[in-house]
Amino acid sequence: MELKLAVFCDQAHEGSDGRLDLVGIFDELAAPGFPAMQNRMTVALVVEWTPEEAGEQPLRADLVDDENTRVLTIQGHTQVHVAADPRRPARTRLILPLERVVFPHEGRYHLDFIAGGETKRACSLFVMEHGRGG
């Protein structure tokens, strides 16, 4: 398993031409105080698989703070199909809309993505109080 893309954004969708369209990519959020709630955000991920990983693959994504305290967990699975053309790797595109995400305190958060027996640090996000950033 190789994590090819991982971003926080406002919206994501798969276009009819097979492209992944991302709107409003961000890596910082500002809040009036803490705990803070983000009403809506999306995580977009692209994963490539080896032929040996074909079949059902369990997936998990944990949003954790800088002390590795879990804020939220998303679990599911994907069906990995070997591509007809052996030059093309099997891919999974995940669009995970999140609502009412609570950040307990200011600081750095990141997404740990667990799939194919591996854990990868996906994307990170810095959440700060209004007027305290650079």
Position 21 in a domain: yes
Lowest mean pLDDT among 29-33, 65-69, 80-84: 80-84
Q: State the residue for tokens 């994590």.
A: 3
- Count structural domains, the chain: 1
Contact 125, 8 (CB under 8 A): yes
89 closest CA partner among 102, 80, 101, 98: 80
Where in the chain does DSSP place strands (E)? 2-9, 11-14, 20-23, 28-31, 36-49, 55-65, 70-80, 90-103, 107-115, 118-129
Measured CA to CA, the distance from residue 4 to residue 120 in angstroms comes to 11
- Mean pLDDT estimate for the chain: 92
Tens-place pLDDT, residues 33-63: 999 999 999 999 999 999 899 999 999 999 9
Q: Which two tokens stand for residue 63?
A: 């949003």
Of the two residues 132 and 125, the one the predictor is more confident about is: 125
Q: What is the CATH number of the domain that holds 65?
A: 2.60.40.1930
| 3-class secondary structure, 51 | helix
Question: Structural domain of residue 61, as residue ranges?
Answer: 2-129
* Interatomic CA distance for residues 121 and 12, integer angstroms: 20
**The predicted structure's pLDDT at residue 125:** 96
Higher-confidence residue: 131 or 85?
85
Dihedral sign computed on CA atoms, order 34, 22, 72, 108: negative
Residue 54 in domain = yes
Confidence of residue 101 (pLDDT cuts 50, 70, 90): very high
Residue 134 lies in a domain: no
The answer to whether residue 43 sits within a structural domain is: yes
Residue 134 reports pLDDT greater than 70:
no
User: Is pLDDT larger for residue 14 or for residue 133?
Assistant: 14
